[in-house]
Structure 1
Amino acid sequence: MDRRQFFACGFLLSSLGLVGASSRRVSGQENPSPEPEAPGPGTPFDFDQVKKRARDLSNRPFQPRQSDLPEPISNLGYEGYTSIRYRPEQALWYDSDRAFRTQFFHLGHYYSHPVKIYEVAEGEVRPIRFSPEMFNYEDASFGSDTDLGDIGLAGFRLHYFLNFAPDMVSFLGASYFRAVGENLQYGLSARGLAIDTGLSKGEEFPFFRAFWLERPEPGQDHINVYALLDSESITGAYRFEIRPGSTTIMNVESTLYPRQSIELLGVAPATSMYLYGENDAPDTPDFRPEVHDSDGLAMWRGNWEWVWRPLVNPKELALNSFTDTSPRGFGLLQRDREFRHYQDAGVYYNRRPNLWVEPLNDWGEGHVHLVEIPIKEEIHDNIVSFWNPKEPVKPGKELEFSYRLLWGPEAPVPRMGVAHVGATRLGQGGTPGDRPDGKVHKFVIDFRGGDLPILAKDAPVEPVVSATRGKVLHPAVWPMEETDAWRVKFDLEWEGEEPIDLRCFLRLGEEALSETWLYQWNPGQS
């Protein structure tokens, strides 16, 4: 499956899971209790009702989703599936003066499990059912007169009045969803929840069983979407307040009900792709200097420290966690916006959105986790970030996480005088013609912005560099005449093959001028 084709169609490859992480098989229970019924006609609807359904569902044995698609649909390949197109005039709220329209995804190919979708209007619930009239089957391998029955729907996408042609948000596959900002370009994905991501026992993929779309009022610039999440280990109720724009904003309320203990709970997970960038080189020749949806993990820690961790495509699975208390935000960003750095006029990696997570309640102690999975091609997602609370997740508890998701090309939060990392480069240690004996590697970091542009060129700026092992040699920093950056350069002398964690920031007197650059270098894989 080629991600390029999926981006062109607005579909989610991410719903297939992670390359290199086996999906845990879920065994069914004998005579499982059915999913709680949806509210009947005339029943008032609110978020408390979704939470009650999730809580009730958590007290029942897990019921795996069933898929019983008719043969014309179950046999669809990629080309056949993408030949089925939604009819725009069939969109929900099409003939109204509302700012939103909703189109729906057909079942088939990788999307074989229907989800229940409802419209909420004036507090009452109406089911949205599949109809062949919603879709154009002219190029499909079967005719529009084929009796498919009520097969259901796979997901939905939201369109906004500023430009009804492209979709701004889509929910499709497991608990995956995506959004765009001003560039109208999809990139990385978010998920409702991640469970045991990167662990050897295999990942569990929660999924949304049902959605409720609250009909917006005329002139309303946001839409509320409610979702019921289910999995072998946990259930959850979600409320998304979605406001599209140059930066699309989602305010998320989630209430979780564990069925069983969970080793690694991932809150507000994001999934992206990093093949190579300026800090490494492709395994095979490629005309493009860089290929990635995101180039780093940014963190704004509870102690107000800004941190930047450039992404890598490791030779082996890499798991890193960063301890924090009451984090102010974190996210996978695409900082490099220069087309010339990518030279890809097909998928435009320079236009991919950032995804920033801003907690809205106190998340307490825990870790920001970063999972990096080796890949050989850009068609696979291999980067995952999420928050893992320190407190063990056990059944019988109710967990609440509120947060804001920001999708767009701009920096998510002003850093108020703090310089940021603009580039990371690696190379052979020493200087040409004077290569040192032993194992020495060079690291070059460019810092930009903040207060750096107004500093005197001879200001006594100090690079503060440290390594978990090995010896840092000849650290130096100077302003670049050719650019607006201040460049740090140092060599690292090391022994052994274990990974080395590096840290660097700029300081003037006792004042930090920059965010903290973190890097994990693995000499055994170089």
Structure 2
Amino acid sequence: MAKSLNRRQFLEAAAGGAALASLAASASAQAPTGAAAFNIPSLGNGQRFDAGLVVDAARMLAQKPLIPLTATDLPEGYASLPFDQYSGIRMQPGATIWAGENRGFTVEPLHRGYVFSNPVSLFTVEDDMIRRVAFDRAKFDYGRVAPPPDNADLQFSGMRISAGLERPFEVASFQGATFFRAIARGQNFGAMARALILRPGEQRGEEIPFFRAFWIERPNPATAALVIHGLLDSESVSGAVRMTLRPGDVTYVDVETTLFARQALDHVGFGCATASFLSGPQSRRTFDDIRPAIHEVSGVQMESGGGEWIYRPVNNPTALQVSSFVDQNPKGFGLVQRERDPAAFQDDDQRFELRPSVWMQPLGDWGAGSVQLIEIPSEAEPNRNIIMYWRPKQALAAGSETAISYRQAWCWQPPDRPDLAVATRVRQGKGSQGRRRRFLVEFTGDRLADAGIVAATRAAITTQPGSIQNVRLWPYPERKLMRVGFEVDPGNDNLCELRLVLQAGGQPVSETWLNRWTW
């Protein structure tokens, strides 16, 4: 993993490069690429659509080895386009799918190029019939890039989705591997999700699934929802993913995934989110930068199957860190951005305070497993070096079928929140002597305005290994805030797992704050 520092570009390049996919020519004159390339004519142009057919297609793919694919049809120079030139390729005004139909959504197919070299087939579903979205260079404004030949059939690299009738806003995009992202109204894009993650952080290397095709149902304005069906593939597994997008002040994405394992899989991740964390008050690493903090998310929040609310700040470590939070049937977990004060970042361009939190609510019985957190050392702001996902304890057997569903909330704060004080800021620095580290953790919440509760509140703090010294509480009931100060003495150890919860009368007043300190 030492070579994963430029993780975002690596993954996007893997998704768009020759390592993954191009769609072979088909015998169908109407649909020379796309579903027919996998010998599934029932999902091609002019056929009647049924969601079960995408599941059937995934099942059929899993019965054969992964087809090695190339991107040799991409015009010369497109794979090496600089980002600024590639991002200048946009669809002409009014050329997006369903433009002018007042359906509440429009879809902009995205051109191939830059690190997004591999083709993805796009289809719409209208009146239950499948219609292929054909590539037409006349629908694109190429800016400073020379257009491809007239007869080029390049397909697309993904799609961008806008929502709203009176004031449309870009709400989601799908591009590269199985990456997708969304925002709530008023936010800037930040964290990303992945439909599936396989073997991240392992010495044998990560396997990167990718989407081959999408079928997008024409939206009904009365439902304010967009339904997207995706066919994913990889060396070890194929799958069908159905996503229902409902944008608003909280944007929800319901995800239903059915996987078919070609091979045994002992490290699978669901509900995956990735984001960047370069620096912040809780981090020991500093950079020569005018901004006091640089991060898209501040931590991982969890509601365990037993009902405990947990918060773990994320960090930019000096060495790869992997943490596991063992659980049974989790109620929710996600990457959250808790810092909403622009003064904390002093960045008028990136506006990190407007980045979304991503909350995963499992639907159904998820059984035993763990929330996995991977923190990758990073020296560059664009790197998405924080990875979080659910890893089931039970491995997937070769030839098995697995179905799993969950609801994502792209939000300012998770829609499910505890009636407890939450950790809003963390700082650390040199302790009073030796190798000690000093921590200040701030909790805020309505309970901390109650004088009776505040008077009875104590801080329960533990560390493994090491010891806790010099604990002190500063209550500020007028601000609904309590600051907890303490020192950690690691002794001769270089790693300590910290746990802190505020309690009154033996009951929690706050969520449980966890942290990993490393020397």
TM-score (norm 1): 0.90
Identify which range, 185-194 or 120-129, moves more after superposition.
120-129
Aligned to 1:4: none
1:375-398 per-residue CA deviation (whole Å, 9 max, x = no partner) reads 012121100000000001221111
Distance 2:19 2:517 in 1: 34
| CA-CA distance at 1:494 after TM superposition | 2.0
User: Which residues in structure 2 correspond to 1:205-284 (within 5 Å)?
Assistant: 205-284=208-287
Report the secondary structure of 1:459's partner residue: helix
Q: Find the partner of 2:120 among 115, 122, 139.
A: 115
Residues 460 and 75 of structure 1, relative CA distance in 2, 3 Å threshold:
closer
Residues 312 and 482 of structure 1, relative CA distance in 2, 3 Å threshold:
farther
Amino acid at match of 1:462: R
| CA-CA distance at 1:117 after TM superposition | 0.7
Residues 509 and 197 of structure 1, relative CA distance in 2, 3 Å threshold:
same
Amino acid at match of 2:500: C
Residues 70 and 458 of structure 1, relative CA distance in 2, 3 Å threshold:
closer
Distance 1:58 1:27 in 2: 16
| CA-CA distance at 1:189 after TM superposition | 0.3
Distance 1:501 1:379 in 2: 28
Aligned to 2:177: 174
Report the secondary structure of 1:184's partner residue: coil
Residues 88 and 126 of structure 1, relative CA distance in 2, 3 Å threshold:
same
Distance 2:364 2:8 in 1: 28
Residues 114 and 164 of structure 1, relative CA distance in 2, 3 Å threshold:
farther
Aligned to 1:129: 134
| CA-CA distance at 1:165 after TM superposition | 5.0
Distance 1:187 1:245 in 2: 17
Report the secondary structure of 2:59's partner residue: helix
1:124-162 per-residue CA deviation (whole Å, 9 max, x = no partner) reads 11111110122012x223257x43511111111111124
Report the secondary structure of 1:168's partner residue: strand
Aligned to 1:394: 397
Amino acid at match of 1:129: A
Aligned to 1:188: 191
Aligned to 2:4: none
Q: Find the partner of 1:355 among 355, 358, 364.
A: 358
| CA-CA distance at 1:399 after TM superposition | 0.9
| CA-CA distance at 1:46 after TM superposition | 2.0
Q: Find the partner of 1:88 among 74, 89, 93.
A: 93
| CA-CA distance at 1:105 after TM superposition | 0.5
Identity %: 34
Identify which range, 276-285 or 342-351, moves more after superposition.
276-285
Residues 256 and 41 of structure 1, relative CA distance in 2, 3 Å threshold:
same
**How many residue pairs are counted as aligned between the two chains?**
495
Residues 217 and 27 of structure 1, relative CA distance in 2, 3 Å threshold:
closer
Q: Does 1:475 align with 2:479?
A: no
Report the secondary structure of 2:222's partner residue: coil
Report the secondary structure of 2:270's partner residue: strand
Report the secondary structure of 1:462's partner residue: strand
1:75-114 per-residue CA deviation (whole Å, 9 max, x = no partner) reads 5332331221211300111131211111110011111001
1:325-358 per-residue CA deviation (whole Å, 9 max, x = no partner) reads 0000000000010000000001100000000000
Structure 2: runs of 5 or more not aligned: 1-6, 23-35
Q: Find the partner of 1:445 among 437, 441, 447.
A: 441
Residues 143 and 502 of structure 1, relative CA distance in 2, 3 Å threshold:
closer
Q: Does 1:66 align with 2:47?
A: no
Distance 2:480 2:145 in 1: 57
Distance 2:221 2:47 in 1: 23
Distance 1:18 1:468 in 2: 38
Identify which range, 185-194 or 493-502, moves more after superposition.
493-502
Identify which range, 450-459 or 514-523, moves more after superposition.
450-459
Structure 1: runs of 5 or more not aligned: 1-12, 431-435
Two-structure CA RMSD over aligned residues (Å): 2.3
Distance 1:216 1:298 in 2: 33
Q: Find the partner of 2:107 among 77, 90, 102.
A: 102
Amino acid at match of 2:70: Q
Distance 2:320 2:448 in 1: 37
Aligned to 1:47: 51
Distance 1:97 1:227 in 2: 25
Distance 2:269 2:166 in 1: 34
Report the secondary structure of 1:49's partner residue: helix
Aligned to 1:419: 421
Identify which range, 269-278 or 58-67, moves more after superposition.
58-67
Distance 1:317 1:401 in 2: 29
Distance 1:520 1:467 in 2: 9
User: Which residues in structure 2 correspond to 1:488-503 (within 5 Å)?
Assistant: 488-503=484-499
| CA-CA distance at 1:371 after TM superposition | 0.3
Amino acid at match of 2:90: R
Contact 1:188–1:273 under 8 Å retained in 2: yes
Contact 2:109–2:159 under 8 Å retained in 1: yes
Amino acid at match of 2:82: G
Identify which range, 310-319 or 73-82, moves more after superposition.
73-82
TM-score (norm 2): 0.91
Distance 1:366 1:84 in 2: 43
| CA-CA distance at 1:411 after TM superposition | 3.3
Distance 2:187 2:425 in 1: 25
Residues 130 and 87 of structure 1, relative CA distance in 2, 3 Å threshold:
same
Residues 261 and 147 of structure 1, relative CA distance in 2, 3 Å threshold:
same
Identify which range, 493-502 or 310-319, moves more after superposition.
493-502
